[in-house]
Chain A
Amino acid sequence: MARMTVNDRPVEFLLDGDTPLLWALRDAANLTGTKYGCGVGDCGACMVHVDGEVLRSCLVTIAEAEGRVVTTIEGLSADRTHPVQQAMVAEQAIQCGFCTPGIVMAAAALLKSNSAPSEGEIKAAIRNLCRCGVQPRLVRAIERAGRVARRVETISAAPAPGISSRDAKSSVPAFGNSNDKDQSR
């Protein structure tokens, strides 16, 4: 029975201690944004932050995670506003999106320790596999996320979920009010 903090909430998993964090998150906590791709640490699709460090959750048991602070893609930001999330969308550095949560977590961890990484540092840090081939955009996206993190650029590419119909009405004419009267008279 392992207790830890997951996305700012206290959690106790009623699972065997040898259960990889990946499966505890997915099957018990229903945090399915963390993906299974290989189970042996090759692909990086299951990356999460444990005490601020990026780890492959398939290689960490819940016994090892006892008492630690775990952040998953769902907890990275409440509204998709993390600079990496915004930059990945702005650069359209996502195709099927299956490896994306792991890449975002890896890049977020990198920027936390170094908000202006060089191309070489980005290439050394991001070891995630992506078969759709978004790699040609990743360096650019992460550099851009770094600029956002350093507040030298802003992006609003990915809208927050759950926009109210009132906000939608005010910003999109197609959701606004009809103007059914002939105003020329």
Chain B
Amino acid sequence: MPLSRRAILTGAAVGGGLFVGWYLWPRHYSAPLIAGEDEYGFGGWLTIGKDGVVTVAVPQLEMGQGVTTLLPQIVAVELGADWRQIAVQPVPPSGAQPNIPLAAKWAPLWSSIPSLADEPGDMLAGRFARDHAFSATADGTTLAAYEQPVREAAAAARAMLAMVAAKRWGTDWEQCEVEGGLVQFGKRTLRFGDLAEEAATMRAPDPAPLRPDPPAERPVGEDDDSVDTLFPRLDLPSKIDGSMIFAGDVRLPDLVFAAIAHGPIGMQELVGYDAKTVKKIRGLVGVVKHKRWIAAVASNSWQAQKALKALRPRFSGPGAVGTEKLEQVLTTAARGEGETILSFGDPDSQLQQGAAGATYYIAPALHAAIETASATARLSDGRLELWIASQAPEAARAAAGEAVGLSPDKVVLYPLEAGGSFDARLEKQHAIEVAQIAKAIGKPVQLTWSRAEESRMVPPRTPVAIALTASLGQGDSLTPSAWRARLACPATVREFGERLFDNATPEAAMERAAGKADPLACEGALPPYAIPNVAIEHVPVTLSLPTARLRGNAAAYTAFATECFIDELAARAARNPLLYRMEMLGQQPRLVEVLRRAAQIGEWGAGDGGTGEGMAVVRMDAVGDPQRAGGGRIACIAEARAGGSGFEVERLIAVVDIGRIVNLDLARQQIEGGLMFGLALARGSSAVWHRGMPSPARLGAMGLPGLADTPDMTIEFVSSDAPPFDPGELGVAVAPPAIANALYAATGKRFRRLPLMETVA
């Protein structure tokens, strides 16, 4: 079965090219997808070659989530192509392919307007995203941003192909069928390849003649985990034989290799190094020093690392960061006053007497992608070329250019796939560094951060303390009548925004965000349950540890606190945690359904002590969806027991409702992977900083689950026609509280910290 896939490094240069414009194309934007020889462009989203190969532009970063299959699948279905004729081209950022839903959601980070998130397609967000070529890959917005545009482009292309065929056959194009890569009328067929050249000159009907239904795959029967997909991932053949090119795999003539050292957190100014010893290192090309780092460059990575070690760099600064007292600082702050993010009813008076409370502490969490930050750069003839995997490529491009005195239009970014990211590649420090090193050395340079640098220099997901208070006592069920969540953490999303949108240093970003309430840092803190009086408050705490986004984001900590506390309230009320939740979900039929089915599969009993079963539910809302017509829902039952020096999770059952499913197996991969990521958060993937250095910094000491720690998983999807929702973060959020509640059932002990145990073997 020939799966055609283009070499990943084909010219993704900015501007110019043999681009065939058409009316849908906003002409003042650079063309992200350039038609090669014997290829013809359709709307900047696809080209069709004389050979019949359909190449689909993907403006989102592939980091394992399958976007280089998902968007091409939508094109193939809408166009009527054979899956085997589809090729993929990751394209650099262009204003013509903006991520408007994400721009709307992140509006507080780039505008002074508090929120545009509830106004889809908002003018301002659209203008911002187009003007800034904002096509970031984050927050599960791929389908919301790109499904409609790629469908329209593919539908237009289908019509244009049919028009040419119909002209040759003397019939109406509407009478022609397009499927399997052929235009058909009666028994006559024409291949796309024979039509493309003329088709590209046709005038597409406006609006584009979409097929009646968007692509949808129905969930198969119960616990059917066979992989039998009509749309196998396009990226796997090149990932199975080592031929996939990641940023550290690019090879250029005269390429040299750089190793870099940064200071401990809080001690980031380079103040000295040993220049002499390094000279003995064979193959040394040069040493590049900067205010905040030093790099050794050599003919291979090992010599560069040896030279870097010999340099013995010394750093200074206001003070090395220690986080030994973080938990105490944050839990104390969470018991103080906060700024109201959201409030309804009259929670204050309700919570004055007889309220139950608990405080949860969630430690800083590490990304620990297996690929460390890597980039390759070549600076020649006043032009910078940058090979990099970036979730925010335009920001990386602009920052790298600025660092070497070049305007963004002098920077060519070749988008590569990421070896995992989990939001680490929203950061762009390595893009800046590789450009500066390339400039200083005068040769093409490859920079690969060591694992130690990766652990230290990618800011962790924020630590947070969450104080929850609830009044027990609506009727006999003892469900809460009032609820307050007070989150003590830095304005972490604002801080991230200062780095992303204003290119601030980590320290400057912390300073600018300090003391501001941050609604996005409190996402998911509103429980999905029917509680008449609620207050969500943020206590912005200033830390000296920079913080960042991480897969699961705020939902991963708010769901942990909410779902553990609900379990505590159920226990106080002496209620079955399943029925207790169900009674508060009357207005949430989709949540009821996932919970009901999960409980059924898990043969949920009384949920009493000793069973080792725990549950959690999570609802995530879509951007610009105040009525909550879309969004995602997951219920999880965990079976766990204490064992050895920690705990073991034996089984995870998850029932998931993500609305319409475009690619069922990709969705399943995302749920499986999300649950594993959540399991890692429950076990570890956290650090303590001593003297500015994270401990552990080694992957092997982070408590990451391996194959032997992998629970048996049962995953089911609900069949739904609701708007599609990205499955990537649901599992991350739901697993830790389900596991914590299971451990309570097994041990009678409440786990109010994440990771759940101080030390993990």
Contacts and interface: CB of A to CB of B under 8 A. Distances in A.
Interface of A: 15-16, 18-20, 23-24, 26-28, 30-43, 45, 72-74, 76-77, 80, 85, 88-92, 94-101, 104, 122-124, 126-140, 156-159, 161, 163, 165, 167-168, 171-184
In which size bucket is the chain B interface?
35 or more
Contacts of A32: 242, 245-246, 248-249, 251
Given A37-B699, A80-B237, A96-B420, A131 B242 contact: no
A135 to B, nearest CB: 4
Contact of A99 (B51, B251, B370, B372): B370
A88 B240 contact: yes
Dominant SS among interface residues on chain A: loop
Given A139-B707, A174-B192, A95 B699 contact: no
A163 to B, nearest CB: 4
A89 B240 contact: yes
B269 interface: no
Contacts, number: 269
B368 A131 contact: yes
A96 B419 contact: yes
B113 interface: no
Contact of B182 (A23, A94, A174): A174
Q: Closest 6 A-B residue pairs measured CB to CB?
A: A33-B242, A174-B181, A98-B419, A133-B676, A97-B239, A96-B64
A15 B241 CA distance: 26
B753 interface: no
A130 B249 CA distance: 19
Given A30-B251, A40-B698, A96-B420, A133 B675 contact: yes
A72 B301 CA distance: 19
Contacts of B52: 174-175
24 contacts: A16-B302, A27-B257, A28-B300, A30-B251, A40-B698, A80-B240, A89-B232, A95-B64, A96-B370, A126-B707, A129-B706, A131-B704, A133-B677, A137-B672, A156-B1, A161-B241, A165-B51, A172-B82, A172-B85, A174-B191, A178-B194, A179-B189, A180-B188, A180-B189
Nearest to A100: B239
B448 interface: yes
B237 A158 contact: yes
B708 interface: yes
B698 A85 contact: no
B669 A42 contact: no
A116 B318 CA distance: 59
Contact of A23 (B85, B190, B302): B302
Contact of A136 (B51, B63, B676): B676
Interface of B: 1-4, 51-52, 62-66, 81-82, 84-85, 168-169, 180-182, 186-194, 225, 227, 229, 232-233, 235-246, 248-249, 251, 257, 282, 299-303, 368-372, 417-422, 448, 450-451, 665, 669, 672-677, 680, 698-701, 704-708, 710, 713
Nearest to B705: A135
Contacts of A128: 706-707
Given A122-B707, A159-B3, A130 B233 contact: no
A171 B1 contact: yes
Contacts of A94: 233, 235-236, 239-240
Given A32-B248, A43-B370, A178 B190 contact: yes
A161 B243 CA distance: 10
Given A92-B236, A96-B371, A173-B180, A101 B189 contact: no
A76 B241 CA distance: 8
A159 B237 contact: yes
Contact of B370 (A33, A37, A176, A181): A37
Given A37-B419, A168-B4, 4 more contacts: A26-B248, A33-B243, A172-B2, A174-B84
Contact of B451 (A37, A98, A124, A178): A37
B300 A31 contact: no
Q: Which among A41, A127, A179 has the highest number of chain B CB atoms within 10 Å?
A: A179
A143 B282 CA distance: 47
Contacts of A178: 182, 189-191, 194
A131 B66 contact: no
A183 B185 CA distance: 11
Contacts of B64: 95-97, 132
A158 B240 contact: yes
Contacts of B710: 123, 135-136, 138
A32 B181 CA distance: 35
Nearest to B233: A92
A72 B189 CA distance: 46
Nearest to A165: B51
A167 B487 CA distance: 61
B697 to A, nearest CB: 10
Given A132-B673, A174-B85, A35 B371 contact: yes
B451 A38 contact: yes
A139 B711 CA distance: 12
A164 B206 CA distance: 39
A102 to B, nearest CB: 9
Contact of B191 (A31, A33, A140, A175): A175
A98 B63 CA distance: 10
Contact of B180 (A30, A36, A174): A174
Contacts of B191: 173-178
A27 to B, nearest CB: 4
B671 to A, nearest CB: 9
A131 B233 contact: no
A110 B512 CA distance: 54
From A27, A31, A77, A100, name the one whose CB has the most chain B CB atoms within 10 angstroms. A27
